[in-house]
């Protein structure tokens, strides 16, 4: 039997092709990347950001991925990703052309999702986060923290006439969707995670 060549994941390389040409220079300008240490370049930093934010890896898993490629990196070092927020906002604005969007005041674009939080040492979900993000300004519009007993629902959010809302299938509940349909545009999207 002929041995198959190993599968090479090229999604990250394709993603980088869509970024503004000066994305590495922007990393320095926004002080997301100041000097090479364990993370040797803005490109490697961006890979780490995408593991954490894009693929939802834990801090420890991100550190493990970096260690697999180039040597030890502690999960506490990964916490420095907070410095990347202005850089990532700028990149997203460039990719989506958000700087060209003219706010007419008639529509607001909102992404809604939930997430879970575990306290240190817990074996199950401790809290649930309910988050709404303004897609144009890339800022938090609303955040609510509840117990793990409260599920995903649009009832957690204040939505207004003219809102265009992107949700995942966890929010596809007729009792909370139907009352909003006359004033709010809702786009339901099935999002799958691959690791």
21 or 68: which leads in pLDDT: 21
φ/ψ of residue 128, rounded to 5: -125, 135
C-alpha to C-alpha distance for 57 and 121, rounded to whole angstroms: 18
C-alpha to C-alpha distance for 61 and 193, rounded to whole angstroms: 15
Distance, CA of 37 to chain centre: 25
- Whether the model clears a pTM of 0.85, i.e. scores above it, the answer is no
pLDDT (tens digit, 9 = 90+) per residue, 31-50? 999 888 777 889 888 888 88
pLDDT (tens digit, 9 = 90+) per residue, 186-195? 666 655 444 4
């Amino acid at each position: 039997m002929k041995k198959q060549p190993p599968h090479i994941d090229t999604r990250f390389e394709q993603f980088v092709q869509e970024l503004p040409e000066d994305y590495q220079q922007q990393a320095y300008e926004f002080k997301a990347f100041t000097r090479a240490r364990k993370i040797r370049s803005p490109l490697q930093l961006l890979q780490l950001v995408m593991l954490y934010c894009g693929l939802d890896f834990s801090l420890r898993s991100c550190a493990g991925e970096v260690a697999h490629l180039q040597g030890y990196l502690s999960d506490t070092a990964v916490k420095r990703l907070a410095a990347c927020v202005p850089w990532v906002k700028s990149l997203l604005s460039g990719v989506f052309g958000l700087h060209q969007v003219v706010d007419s005041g008639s529509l607001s674009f909102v992404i809604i999702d939930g997430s879970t939080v575990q306290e240190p040492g817990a074996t199950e979900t401790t809290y649930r986060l309910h988050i709404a993000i303004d897609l144009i300004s890339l800022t938090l519009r609303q955040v609510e923290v509840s117990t793990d007993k409260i599920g995903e629902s649009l009832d957690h959010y204040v939505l207004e006439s003219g809102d265009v809302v992107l949700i995942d299938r966890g929010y596809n509940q007729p009792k909370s969707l139907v009352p909003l349909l006359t004033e709010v545009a809702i786009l339901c999207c099935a999002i799958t995670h691959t690791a």
